[in-house]
């Protein structure tokens, strides 16, 4: 039987929400071992001068604990 932990991170991209999610998962995988999934808890945009300057997501990342 395995035990998993969930941690929350935020990530951003100037291109899209999808890119922000990919950036977050990639970065989390560099630090956390056994990442098995993630879901978007929240998303928002930053607006500067009437235009979107950044796409931001709050992710909940699941990883399996090892012995």
pLDDT value at position 1? 75
Q: Cα 67 from chain centroid?
A: 25
How far, in Å, are 16, 26, 53 from residue 44 at the CA level?
11, 20, 11
Q: Name the one residue in this structure whose structure tokens are 């991209």.
A: 13
Query: Where are the domains positioned within the chain?
Result: 4-64
pLDDT value at position 2? 87
Tokens of 45: 């945009």
| Contact in structure between 61 and 5 (CB atoms under 8 Å) | no
pLDDT one-digit tens code per residue, 32-65? 999 999 999 999 999 999 999 999 999 999 999 9
pLDDT value at position 34? 95
pLDDT value at position 67? 78
* pLDDT above 80: residue 20: yes
Q: Which CATH class is domain 4-64?
A: alpha beta
**Mean pLDDT in residue range 9-24:** 98
Q: Which of 40, 30, 36 is nearest to 65 (CA)?
A: 36
């Amino acid at each position: 039987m395995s035990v998993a932990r969930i941690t929350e991170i935020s990530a951003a991209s100037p291109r899209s929400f999808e890119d922000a999610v990919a950036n977050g998962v990639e970065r989390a995988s560099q630090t956390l071992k056994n990442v098995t999934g993630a879901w978007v808890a929240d998303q928002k945009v930053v607006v500067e001068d009437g235009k979107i300057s950044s796409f931001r997501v709050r992710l909940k990342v699941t990883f399996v604990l090892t012995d």
